Amino acid sequence: MLNNSDLLFIYDAKLTNPNGDADDENKPRMDYETSTNLVSDVRLKRYIRDYLVDRGFEVFVAQPEGKVVTATQRIEGIFEKYDGNVNLNKLTNDQIGWLLNQLIDVRLFGATMPIKSADSKGSSITFTGPVQFSWGYSLNPAILVESNTITSRFSSEADKATTMGKDYRLYYSLIAFSGVISGNRAKHTKMNENDLNVLEEALIKAIPLMATRSKIGQYPRLYLRIEYNSNEFLIGDLRDYIPRIENVNVRNITDYILDLEQLKTVLERHIDRINSISYWHHDQLQIKTDSGSGTLENIMGDKLSSKLKKLPL
């Protein structure tokens, strides 16, 4: 059985476009008033799903064999593996349970499916996912690269052609996501401990491994999961306890030290509610508290040290 957890996931993007905005020439999503880079939760989930597919997992939100299919066609394709008769307009609880067992992304993130259970009057079933992420935002002022025009040339002896276009990128963005895991919702979607392990593996490994031309240069830097001993409690958005990096000239991970003192303080305040603090920390990311700088084990202090659990990734 899974308990409630708060999640903090931080990765950086150097000379890349973390999440293009289709409504704005595919420029990186930005809050221009504060020079804050924005990344949608959908983009993060896409990394995770792509990694899961690459690992051989079945996911609901996918294009089998590269083909665009409807949700109904996707479900029909999955049920081709089912041993028995299936009526999508009247699925039994056992058949719905079987479907959930096939689809790890539904167990994690939920989905609305155009199917009916035997005791349902609706035209679809909605699974609210236990794992939810907010939109990510940069902890530093993110600046667009000033020169963005690129050229491409296609040529032969008889014909030459040059095309020009825009390639928008940021100099550097340290992107932080907040997330939650609901223990009660996990029961509903059948999410289990193994699913959680796979999710954490995907968060740490997916972004560099799934890189495309516009995404190469992005690496995970810090992951924390605060697991509680009650499904009635969450601290909330852990990013609220990390001060913004004010340096507008950040161009590299070595240009700043991330201050976790406020986060440490709030975790100590709620230590009686915390079962464990699972973590992964890239050694290039410099972090500190008032106790000093160094590894997470060294800076979190004696009160929290017994709660720390380093992920074997």
234 phi and psi, to 5 degrees?
A: -145, 140
| Per-residue pLDDT at 206 | 97
pTM listed for this prediction = 0.92
The span from the CA of 31 to the CA of 33, in Å, is 6
Give CA 122 to chain center in angstroms. 31
Facing residues of 149 across strands?
A: 166
Which pLDDT tens digits describe the chain residue by residue (313 residues)?
A: 899 999 999 999 999 999 999 999 999 999 999 999 999 999 999 999 999 999 999 999 887 766 777 888 888 889 999 988 888 888 888 999 999 999 999 999 999 988 766 665 657 888 999 999 999 999 999 999 987 666 555 555 555 555 557 899 999 999 999 999 999 999 999 999 999 999 999 999 999 999 888 899 999 999 999 999 999 999 999 999 999 999 999 999 999 999 999 999 999 999 999 999 999 999 999 999 999 999 999 999 999 999 999 999 8
Q: Which positions ≥6 away from 206 have C-beta within 8 Å?
A: 47, 48, 50, 51
CA distances from 312 to 50, 196, 204, 281, 283 (A): 22, 13, 11, 11, 15
Residues 6+ apart with CB under 8 A from 194: none
